[in-house]
């Protein structure tokens, strides 16, 4: 009977690799051997630190009961090694993506797999969930020709979102992050570049009278820190929009809505990839959004933002690095 090595979170800041027997392959199932999987520095660190709420996860393939011990993750790329008798032979040896925890092998049905376009290598394909999130964020924000846009947070979701926004005819695009490595990651060359990259202190030190013309029409809060909503509110223009793409888990912060928030008629937009905006759902479904995400991955090639590669046996070191020295990382992946 084949086995799989899987990452389990067993308690706050405790990770172990468990070897488990795989179920027998049914006639309508396939066996996938994992090539690489990506760590979600936002969601997975909440699980690692024990800060997740008891809510159903966005991805159906992940356990809806978020409690220890927990196998968690949702960016898995592999190769179909075996197929059941009823499965189309075209699936054999195909590179596929799946919303699976970090595991060396898994058994599933073909309808749970996403064939990877030939133009993408496995590491780029690992970014599919985050790119789908970025597509959703841009659609929910609905940027308009000539707008001034700011993205707070340049983790992977922030970098992908900024990359998509940079394709729009905006007046300017400002990205903000406290980590120098991440500020430098989104680099757009050329004298006509509309991108500004700032540290939070630079943003706070702006003189309001001098920068009033540059107040932002659209702001994205993607830092994972709820207190940063105050920064977003402070720099959003009259009738502007703030798209909240962070998942805060159990983290709380005081939000200042007693100043200009109401007078400025600022709109807060909750954006989660688990659903399609009602304004779009009549024309858009998940498959259409995934197709847009694949095409965006081909254009942006986010593999360039991988800073660390770990073997599965070194999973504890990978999460410790993210927890204690996030300034040294952008994207961490597991190699199998």
In sequence order, the β-bridge partners of residue 105 are 33
Q: Report the percentage of the chain scoring pLDDT > 90.
A: 76
61-77 core/surface letters (b: 16 or more CB in 10 A; e: else): ebeeebeeebbbbbbbb
Which pLDDT tens digits describe the chain residue by residue (336 residues)?
689 999 999 999 999 999 999 999 999 999 999 999 999 998 899 899 998 765 444 444 444 567 899 999 999 999 999 999 999 999 999 999 999 999 999 999 999 999 999 999 999 999 999 999 999 999 999 999 999 999 999 999 999 999 999 999 999 999 999 999 999 998 776 666 789 999 998 886 654 544 555 589 999 999 988 889 999 999 999 999 999 998 777 778 888 888 788 888 999 999 978 889 999 999 999 999 999 999 999 999 999 999 999 999 999 999 999 999 999 999 999 999
CB 80 within 8 A of CB 44: no
The position carrying tokens 């690692």 is 48
CB 120 within 8 A of CB 298: yes
Q: Which residue segments constitute the domains of the chain, with CATH numbers given?
A: 3-116+301-335 (3.90.180.10), 130-270 (3.40.50.720)
pLDDT at 190: 62
pLDDT at 2: 86
State the pTM of this model: 0.91
pLDDT at 252: 81
Q: Quote the CA–CA distance of 248 and 225 in Å, as a whole number.
A: 7
In sequence order, the β-bridge partners of residue 150 are 174, 219
- Give the angle subtended at the CA of 316 by the CAs of 61 and 104, to the nearest 5°: 45
* Sign of the CA dihedral running 336, 49, 67, 250: negative
- Kindly report, residue by residue over 114-172, the tens digit of the pLDDT: 999 999 999 999 999 999 999 999 999 999 999 999 999 999 999 999 999 999 999 99
pLDDT at 208: 52
Q: How far is CA 92 from CA 84, 97, 152, 185, 275, in A?
A: 10, 14, 43, 37, 31
pLDDT at 255: 83
- Kindly report, residue by residue over 7-42, the tens digit of the pLDDT: 999 999 999 999 999 999 999 999 999 999 999 998
Backbone angles phi, psi at 314, to 5 degrees: -100, 25
pLDDT at 193: 75
The position carrying tokens 């308690």 is 11
């Amino acid at each position: 009977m084949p086995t799989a090595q899987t990452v389990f979170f067993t308690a706050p800041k405790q990770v172990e690799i468990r070897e488990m027997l795989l179920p027998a392959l049914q006639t309508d199932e396939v066996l996938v051997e994992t090539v690489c999987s990506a760590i979600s520095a936002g969601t997975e660190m909440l699980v690692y630190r024990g800060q997740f709420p008891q809510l159903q996860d966005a991805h159906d393939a992940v356990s809806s009961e978020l409690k220890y011990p927990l196998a968690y993750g949702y960016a898995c790329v592999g190769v179909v090694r075996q197929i059941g008798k009823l499965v189309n032979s075209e699936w054999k040896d195909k590179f596929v993506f799946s919303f699976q925890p970090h595991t060396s092998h898994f058994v599933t049905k073909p309808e749970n797999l996403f064939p990877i376009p030939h133009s993408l290598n496995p590491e780029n394909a690992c970014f599919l969930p985050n790119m789908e999130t970025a597509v959703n964020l841009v659609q929910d924000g609905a940027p308009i020709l000539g707008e001034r846009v700011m993205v707070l947070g340049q983790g992977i979701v922030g970098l992908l979102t900024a990359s998509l926004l940079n394709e729009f005819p905006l007046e300017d695009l400002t990205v903000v992050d406290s980590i120098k490595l991440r500020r430098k990651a989104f680099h757009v060359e050329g004298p006509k570049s509309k991108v500004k990259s700032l540290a939070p202190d630079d943003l706070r030190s702006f003189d309001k009278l001098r920068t009033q013309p540059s107040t932002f029409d659209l702001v994205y809060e993607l830092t994972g820190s709820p207190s940063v909503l105050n920064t977003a509110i402070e720099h959003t223009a009259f009738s502007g929009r703030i798209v909240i793409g962070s998942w805060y888990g159990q983290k709380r912060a005081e939000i200042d809505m007693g100043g200009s928030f109401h007078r400025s008629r600022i709109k807060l937009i909750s954006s989660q990839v688990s659903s399609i905006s009602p304004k779009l759902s009549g024309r858009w479904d998940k498959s259409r959004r995934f197709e847009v995400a694949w095409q965006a991955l081909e254009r942006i090639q986010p593999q360039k933002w991988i800073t660390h590669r770990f073997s599965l046996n070194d999973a504890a070191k990978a999460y410790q690095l993210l927890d204690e020295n996030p300034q040294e990382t952008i994207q961490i992946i597991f190699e199998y």
